[in-house]
A and B are shown apart, each in its own frame.
Chain A
Amino acid sequence: MLDLLNIAKPFADMDTPVDAETERAVCRWLYAEARFLDAERYQDWLEGFIDPEIHYWMPDMETRRRDDPRGTFSYGEAAYFDDNLPELTIRVKRYNEPSAWADNPATRHAHLISNIEVNATDDPSLLAVCSAFTNVRNRNEADQDIIHGRREDVLRKVEGGFRLLRRRVFIVQNVLLSKNLNTFF
Chain B
Amino acid sequence: MCEGGCKGAAKGRPDMKPVYPRAASYPQYAGLVDRKNAQVDRQVFVSDAVYQAELQQIFARAWLFLAHESQIPNPGDFIRTSMGEDDVIVVRQRDKSVKAFLNSCPHRGNRVCMVDAGTKARGFICNYHGWSFGIDGALRGTDGKVYEKDQSFEKAQIGLTPVAQIDSYKGLIFATFDPDAPSLAEYLGPFTWYMDIMLDNDPEGTEFVGGAIKSEIDCNWKFPAENFVGDILHAFWTHQSGAQAILGGGVDLGSRYDELAFQASVYGHGIETNLDKVGNTRTLGYPELVDYVFDLSEKAKDRLGELRARAIGAVSSCTVFPNFSFLPGQNTFRVWHPRGPGKIELVVWTLVNKSAPEHIKEQYRKGVMMTFSPGGVFEMDDGENWEYSTRVNQGFVTRQQPLHYALGLESADLERDLPGHVHKGSLNDANQRLFYTRWAEFMEYDNWTDLQSGETAPPQKKAVEAAE
A residues bordering B, Cβ < 8 Å? 58, 60, 62-65, 68, 70, 74, 76-82, 86-87, 90-91, 93-94, 97-102, 139, 143, 174-182
Contact = CB atoms under 8 A, between A and B. Distances in A.
B9 interface: no
Given A101-B381, A179-B387, A79 B374 contact: no
B114 A76 contact: no
Contacts of A68: 115, 118-119
B241 interface: yes
A70 B365 CA distance: 19
B374 A62 contact: no
A94 B212 contact: no
Contact of B245 (A58, A63, A76, A91): A91
Nearest to A175: B214
Given A90-B370, A180-B381, A181-B375, 19 more contacts: A60-B213, A62-B115, A62-B116, A63-B116, A74-B211, A78-B211, A80-B369, A81-B375, A97-B244, A99-B241, A100-B381, A174-B116, A175-B215, A176-B213, A176-B215, A176-B374, A179-B384, A180-B215, A182-B375
Contacts of A90: 245-246, 285, 370, 377
A87 B370 contact: yes
Nearest to A176: B215
Contacts of A94: 241-242, 244-245, 377, 380
A180 B244 contact: no
Given A78-B369, A91-B375, A102 B116 contact: no
Interface string B62-99: 00000000000000000000000000000000000000
A99 B240 contact: yes
A82 B369 contact: yes
B282 to A, nearest CB: 13
A74 B370 CA distance: 18
B369 to A, nearest CB: 6
B383 A179 contact: yes
Nearest to A94: B245
A65 B216 contact: no
27 contacts: A60-B212, A60-B214, A62-B115, A62-B211, A70-B119, A77-B211, A78-B350, A78-B365, A87-B366, A90-B246, A90-B285, A91-B245, A91-B370, A91-B377, A94-B244, A94-B380, A98-B241, A99-B244, A100-B241, A102-B380, A139-B384, A174-B214, A176-B214, A176-B216, A178-B216, A179-B384, A180-B215
Contacts of B21: none
Contacts, number: 128
Contacts of A139: 384
A37 to B, nearest CB: 14
A63 B115 contact: yes
A180 B375 contact: yes
Contacts of A177: 215-216
B118 A64 contact: yes
Contacts of B183: none
Contacts of B345: 175
A62 B80 CA distance: 12
Q: Which 6 A-B pairs have the closest CB atoms?
A: A179-B383, A97-B241, A181-B375, A93-B245, A94-B245, A176-B215
If over half of A's interface residues share one DSSP class (helix, strand or loop), that class is named, otherwise mixed; here it is: loop
B374 A179 contact: yes
Most buried by A among B212, B374, B379, B387: B374
Contacts of A143: 387
A60 B238 CA distance: 26
A62 B245 contact: no
Contact of B380 (A78, A93, A176, A180): A180
Contacts of A58: 375
Nearest to A81: B375
A175 B119 CA distance: 21
Given A60-B213, A62-B117, A78-B213, A178 B374 contact: yes
A182 B212 contact: no
Contacts of B8: none
Contact of A78 (B212, B216, B237): B212
A101 B213 contact: no
A167 B237 CA distance: 34
Contacts of A91: 245, 370, 375, 377
Interface in B112-138: 114-119
A50 B359 CA distance: 26
Contacts of B366: 82, 87
Interface in B361-418: 362, 365-366, 369-370, 373-375, 377, 379-381, 383-385, 387
B213 A182 contact: no
A18 to B, nearest CB: 32
Most buried by B among A78, A90, A93: A78
B210 A175 contact: no
A64 B120 CA distance: 13
A80 B245 contact: no
A101 B241 contact: yes
Contacts of A63: 114-116
B217 interface: yes
Contacts of B114: 63, 65
Contacts of A101: 238, 241, 381, 384-385
Given A101-B238, A176-B215, A179-B387, A79 B369 contact: yes
B218 interface: yes
Nearest to A58: B375
A74 B369 CA distance: 15
B374 A65 contact: no
B369 A81 contact: yes
A64 B113 CA distance: 10
